[in-house]
Each structure stands twice: as C-alpha cells, then as structure tokens.
Chains A and B, each alone.
Chain A
Amino acid sequence: MRRLAGIVAITASLGWAPMVAGQELAVDLSEEGVAITTGFSGANLLLFGATQGEGDVVVVVRGPTQSQLVRRKENVAGVWVNRKGVTFYNVPAFYTVAASRPLDTILTDLQRLDYQIGADKLTLVPEGGLAPDPQANTFRDALVRIKMREKLYSETVESVKFVGERLFRTQIRFPANVPVGSYAVHVFLVDDGTVTKAQTTVLEVRKVGFEARVYDFAHRYSAVYGILAIVLAVVAGWLGSVFFRRG
C-alpha cells in the first residue's frame, strides 16, 4: 500500500572487492527504509544505479541474522508429530537476489559461494559445525524451501533492467511478513564470471507508530501490558452489558 516517495542519497558504501580502475558503481534507493505501519501489507523499493564498466549487475538483500530451528514431522500413531530438530546459526531472516541475467551464466560457483549470491549458495551453519551430520543438508534445504514459500527468500533473474548502457534499476519486494531489523543491500558488478566491484548499503525495516509502541510495550513492560489488556476487556464487557440492558 505504501508507495515510495522521496529520494535519499545513500552515503554508506562498503565494498570488499578490489577496486578496478574505471569501473565505478553508484547506487541509490528510492527510500531509506521500510516502515511497518498500521496499514502495512508489504512494500516495494526501487533501487537504481549507474556503472561505468562493462558487465552484469547482481543485487542481494539480506535481512538480520538469526538462529533458526528446523523441525521434521514423523508419523506417530497416525498423527504427524514434530520430532527431530536442527538449529542453524547465521540464517538471514530475509534474502533476495535480483540479477540482470541468470546467475549461473554470469558467475562461477566459487564466486557465488564467496559472495553468498543465491539462496542455494548460502552458508548456513548447523549446530555442531558444518556437515557433521549428513542429514543436516536435508534440513538446510527444507529451511530454504520454507523461506521461499513464505516469500522471505526469493530469486528473480532478469529483474535488473538496464536503461541504455550505464543505468540500471530493479524493484525490491518486501512482503507483509517482512522481519524487522537491519538489512544489507549488496550490489555487485560482474564481469567475466567474477565480481569486479561491490557496494553495500544499509536499510532499516522497522515498525513505526502505534504498532511499534504496542509491540515494544508488550515486551518491555509485559506486566503492565497484561493489566491494561484486562482493563480494556473489562471496560468493553461492561459497555456491552450497558448496551444489552437498553436493547
């Protein structure tokens, strides 16, 4: 519902690829963040930029890192019950990739692993370290699959559009269930199978206004919140009984 307004210059820039002369990369976002308000049902952000070099552009948006438990159901006496669970650390709560061409045609697997480009290339560490348990891989795949189904992970190819030779733009979709926190927007310039330039921009997704205050209050002063919830209900019930008497 909330559409984009205002253009804010991005100052934060944090590249980790070696600078290659003459291959400048400038990126801008249509908004500095995503605000979850009362009527929030998802948001679209426009990312646009310019490059001086040749090549393709890949945009990766990563949400805040969290621990994620994945459970598997087993049939126990006819009923499906959660049994085995594996916890993964360093799981991005949100992850999306946009690229100007299919990823496997423009980048080597090694580069994709290095720069964590593509949901299938995400390094997710299960409890007990990497790959001690061969079963952990099926749990890892399940995690990515479920996140994709919940629209929290996504990959869209050919969604970075070039306008002429130098200018590009793409739309980043944040669904209604987007987690709050600090997001990183990585923009990669890719040429000849490798990343030649990278730039990172920070993006905040936060609750604002009434929603934020209710959530904050419920977690910070939960006892007072509980009492207020009861008082509200009692008053509503009393008002209801006044209605009943007249009706």
Chain B
Amino acid sequence: MYLYLPIAEMSVNALIILGMGGAVGFLSGLFGVGGGFLMTPILILMGITPPVAVATEANQIVAASVSGVIAHWRRGNVDVKMGIVLVVGGVVGSAFGVWLFTILREIGQLDLVVRLAFVVFLGIIAALMLIESIRAMTRNPRRTPPKRHHHYWVHGLPFKMRFRRSRLYISVLLPLSVGFLVGILAAIMGVGGGFVMVPAMIYLLGMPTSVVAGTSLFQIAFVTANVTFMQAVTNQTVDVVLAMLLVVGAVIGAQFGARAGTRLRAVYFRGLLALLVLAVGGKLAFDLIVTPVDFYSLGTVLRVE
C-alpha cells in the first residue's frame, strides 16, 4: 500500500511505516524508553531527509509523551513546579536549537551534524545499556544504591527554589540548564531527550525516582510541541501524514510492549535493545567514514540572492 507523503515528497509503503512505528512503540512500552532516538535515525536510513525526519519525529513524540504523562498524572507522579521550570529551559533551548538547525541547513552541514549527534548519543546509550544489562545478568544483590543528596559545587549556586513534590531546595539554574540542553537535542535530533534528562534529574538534581519519569514526560510533551510549531513555521518540514502513521503504529505497539514487559524478563531484552541501538548507530557511523560512492551531492538553494 503505497502512500505519497506530502511534505517528505516521496512515496512510501504505509504498512512498513506502520510496522516500524509498532516495533519502536513495542520497545518503548517494554523498556519505558522514548522511541525518538531509534525512530529518527531509522527514518533517515530509510531515505527520508534529516530535516523532515527530525521535525516529524518531534511531532510524533508529542503524542507519545502526552499519553505517557496522562498515565503518570493519574498516579500523581508529576512534579508540576519542577516540570514548568524544565519546560521554560526547554522552550528557550529548543528555540535556540531550531535557529541552529536552520543555519546548519543553509550552510549544508545539517545532515552531518544530525548524523554525528546520533552516532555519539547512540554509542553512549548502547554502552550504558550493555553495562547495565551485563551487571543485572551477573546479579550483584549487595550493590548499594547510589546515595542522593551529595553536596557538590552545584549546590552553591544562587537563586534557590523549593520543589515540595521532589523534596528539594536547589538553585533554579540547574533544572533550567538541564531543560535548555534537552531542548537543543529535541530541536536538532528529533528526540524527546529522556535519555539525557532522566539521569540528570536523578544524579544531578537529586529528584526522587518516583517523579522522574512523569516529570520528564511533562517537559518532553511541551518542548516537542514547541519544536513542532517552530519547525513548521521556520522550515515547513513537519509531515503530519508520516507523523500520524508513526503515532498509530507506536500507540498499538506500546500497548503490546507494556503487556509483554509484565511477563518477560526485560533484563535479557535490554541487552538486545543495546545491540539494536549499537547497530543503528554503527550504520550511521559507517556511512560517515566509508568513502562515498559519489563525492558530490545535490543541495537545495534555500536563499536565492
């Protein structure tokens, strides 16, 4: 079933896109991870141009994070005050990111930067996941959980604010800069940025793990919505048809993933996910360093003087 994507301006097999959305949704339901860091590079490898892949994936993540944040909201696992501070940082960061995105696109280096960013982040994620799954499989029950409330230099920063839900009294600059950084990633890579934000919230901000997932999804929902809007206005690269296909696939996939997660021992699958992440990142890295078939490529003239 071929479908012509109006913004990507290419003909794709709708069933393949639905299936991919489903597969990535299944993984995100199974492991509780966002799918952006897998979906965007897969779209790029499929031949969808990085500008369209990044902007469209941001649109898809809006849907995924909204359904996630609703579930966490019902259980009261969202620190709204912290979330708002993270959103403020994220909106500024993503605005900066979209600006950077447009400039990179004009000078013809966007594809390279997006691909490089994915190689670096996918490499780090895969390495961390492999270590974690090996550790979990070898089972060391006496491993002491990391202590929160360490006192680093960051706790000497000014503008302290109280976050009751997280039981924290920290400088507002910390969550602002975390949000800012994640906002840039969202704009340039078309990811939610949970893989950066969640560890930062736990280890840097010292938030209790119970509110981390809900609060990060809260931030992701607003920031990816901002990215969608800004990309639509500045670059016109959001393909709603593609986004909706991915959303439908992901929603169904996530349901099965979440159910499978209650039955399967996710530890072993985490190792497989790490290998998958490694494979996608490896393919992107390979394409960057292997001598190209053709040294020349066509670019769009964005500004005609």
Chain A contact residues, CB within 8 Å of chain B: 1, 36-42, 66-74, 78-82, 85, 87, 139, 142-143, 145-147, 149, 176-177, 207, 210-212, 214-215, 218-219, 222-223, 225-230, 232-234, 236-241, 243-245, 247
Given contact pairs A71-B108, A237-B64, A243-B255, A230 touches B289 in the complex (Cβ within 8 A) = no
Given contact pairs A40-B11, A69-B301, A142-B294, A226 touches B233 in the complex (Cβ within 8 A) = yes
| Cβ-defined contact, A146 with B298, below 8 A | yes
Chain B contact residues, CB within 8 Å of chain A: 2-4, 6-7, 9-11, 59-60, 62-68, 70-71, 108-109, 111-112, 116, 221, 225, 228-233, 236, 238, 240-241, 243-244, 247-248, 251, 254-255, 258-259, 288-289, 291-292, 294-301, 304
Main secondary structure, interface of A, reads helix
| Cβ-defined contact, B3 with A241, below 8 A | no
Given contact pairs A214-B240, A226-B232, A240-B251, A146 touches B63 in the complex (Cβ within 8 A) = no
Given contact pairs A69-B299, A239-B251, A233 touches B243 in the complex (Cβ within 8 A) = yes
A188→B135 CA distance, assembly (Å): 74
**B96–chain A nearest beta-carbon distance, Å:** 18
Chain B residue with the shortest CB-CB distance to A228: B240
B62 neighbours in A (Cβ, 8 Å): 230, 233-234, 237
Given contact pairs A146-B297, A214-B6, A240-B67, A233 touches B292 in the complex (Cβ within 8 A) = no
A68→B298 CA distance, assembly (Å): 7
A176 neighbours in B (Cβ, 8 Å): 4, 10-11
A218→B7 CA distance, assembly (Å): 8
| Cβ-defined contact, A215 with B6, below 8 A | yes
B231 neighbours in A (Cβ, 8 Å): 226
| Cβ-defined contact, B238 with A244, below 8 A | no
A67→B298 CA distance, assembly (Å): 11
| Cβ-defined contact, B241 with A230, below 8 A | no
**A142–chain B nearest beta-carbon distance, Å:** 3
Partner of A233, one of B7, B228, B259: B228
| Cβ-defined contact, B232 with A223, below 8 A | yes
Other A-B contacts than A37-B4, A73-B296, A82-B297, 9 sampled, CB-CB below 8 A, are A72-B296, A78-B289, A82-B108, A145-B294, A146-B298, A219-B236, A233-B62, A236-B247, A237-B63
Chain A residue with the shortest CB-CB distance to B109: A82
| Cβ-defined contact, B255 with A247, below 8 A | yes
A229→B231 CA distance, assembly (Å): 11
10 CB contacts below 8 A, A to B, read: A37-B4, A67-B301, A79-B112, A79-B116, A80-B288, A82-B111, A146-B296, A214-B241, A218-B7, A225-B232
B247 neighbours in A (Cβ, 8 Å): 233, 236-237, 240
| Cβ-defined contact, A67 with B228, below 8 A | no
| Cβ-defined contact, A218 with B66, below 8 A | no
**A246–chain B nearest beta-carbon distance, Å:** 10
A82 neighbours in B (Cβ, 8 Å): 108-109, 111-112, 297, 299
Partner of A234, one of B63, B68, B71, B111: B63
| Cβ-defined contact, B298 with A70, below 8 A | yes
Partner of A39, one of B4, B243, B248: B4
B65 neighbours in A (Cβ, 8 Å): 237
A237 neighbours in B (Cβ, 8 Å): 62-68, 70, 221, 247
Chain A residue with the shortest CB-CB distance to B232: A226
**A96–chain B nearest beta-carbon distance, Å:** 18
| Cβ-defined contact, A244 with B258, below 8 A | yes
A240 neighbours in B (Cβ, 8 Å): 63-64, 66-67, 247, 251, 254
| Cβ-defined contact, A247 with B70, below 8 A | no
Given contact pairs A68-B301, A69-B300, A226-B228, A80 touches B3 in the complex (Cβ within 8 A) = no
A37→B3 CA distance, assembly (Å): 9
| Cβ-defined contact, B67 with A244, below 8 A | yes
Given contact pairs A81-B109, A229-B228, A241-B70, A69 touches B298 in the complex (Cβ within 8 A) = yes
A214→B240 CA distance, assembly (Å): 8
| Cβ-defined contact, A41 with B2, below 8 A | yes
A177 neighbours in B (Cβ, 8 Å): 9-11
A219 neighbours in B (Cβ, 8 Å): 236
A243→B64 CA distance, assembly (Å): 13
